[in-house]
Amino acid sequence: LFQQLKDKGVLLITAHWDSIDQHHACIASEANQKILEEAMPYMDTKAIKPGHIDGLYMLPNSEDEGIIPTLDAPILSVTVWTVSRENKTQFEEAMGKVKGVLDALTTPYRHRGGWKIEKDPGKEDIEQYYVVGGLESIEKYLEGIKSGGYDEYVQ
């Protein structure tokens, strides 16, 4: 369980469920209720906004040879891209083009992304794409962005 420093309502649970129904069953379980009870003093429960990422196992316990599992990284990076629904396909095409650049910037860690299922109230025409992965250091990552041709894809 990770909590964002700037917004205590943003949590990242590193568990994987095959469906939202399976997640709801887990939430109701006695074991989970005990964990939540112990974690409550550290969470701003009024600000929590639940969300699920569609069909993606973002944080596997093992990786391909030469890749270090994300949760073993010194820094966990979570990036959220906000896209209007009409630009979703165009965004996916752009992400496909930048994947090799992103992989080069973040090796020996792999970054994975997926679309958030739930829509924020009043923003049903907005899609959110989450990318999660490990980083060796912020400095190394920022240096790679400046020299690696990443900027052309951000636009």
Question: What CATH number should be reported for the domain holding residue 113?
Answer: 3.30.70
Structure tokens at 14: 């590193």
Mean pLDDT of 4-17: 73
Same domain, 17 and 92: no
Are residues 134 and 75 in contact, defined by beta-carbon separation less than 8 angstroms?
A: yes
In this structure, the answer to whether residues 24 and 66 fall within a common structural domain is no
pLDDT digits (tens, 9 = 90+) for 13-39: 777 777 778 888 988 999 989 988 888
Which structural domain, as residue segments, surrounds residue 143?
52-155
Pick the most confident of 27-31, 39-43, 117-121, 146-150.
27-31
Domain count within the chain: 2
Q: Are residues 16 and 37 in the same domain?
A: yes
d(CA 49, CA 73) in angstroms, rounded, equals: 26
Q: Does residue 67 share a domain with residue 6?
A: no
Q: List the single range of 46-55, 116-125, 141-150 with lowest mean pLDDT.
A: 141-150
Are residues 63 and 85 part of one domain?
yes
pLDDT for the residue numbered 97: 86
Question: If you average pLDDT over residues 53-63, what whole number do you get?
Answer: 71
Q: Are residues 87 and 42 in the same domain?
A: no
Distances (CA, A) of 68 to 103, 122, 131: 12, 39, 17
The identity of residue 49, as a single letter, is K
Judgement on whether residues 137 and 77 belong to the same structural domain of the protein: yes
Query: In the prediction, which pLDDT does 148 show?
Result: 60
Q: How many CB atoms lie within 10 A of CB 133?
A: 22
Same domain, 58 and 108: yes
**Which are the contacts of 77, defined by CB distance < 8 A and separation ≥ 6?**
106, 111, 131, 132, 133, 134, 135, 141
Q: In the predicted model, is pLDDT for residue 123 greater than 80?
A: yes
Rounded Cα gap, residues 63 and 124, in angstroms: 35
120 and 87 both lie in a single domain: yes
Q: Which of 50, 72, 91 is the last residue of a domain?
A: 50
Task: Please name the amino acid found at residue 94.
Answer: A
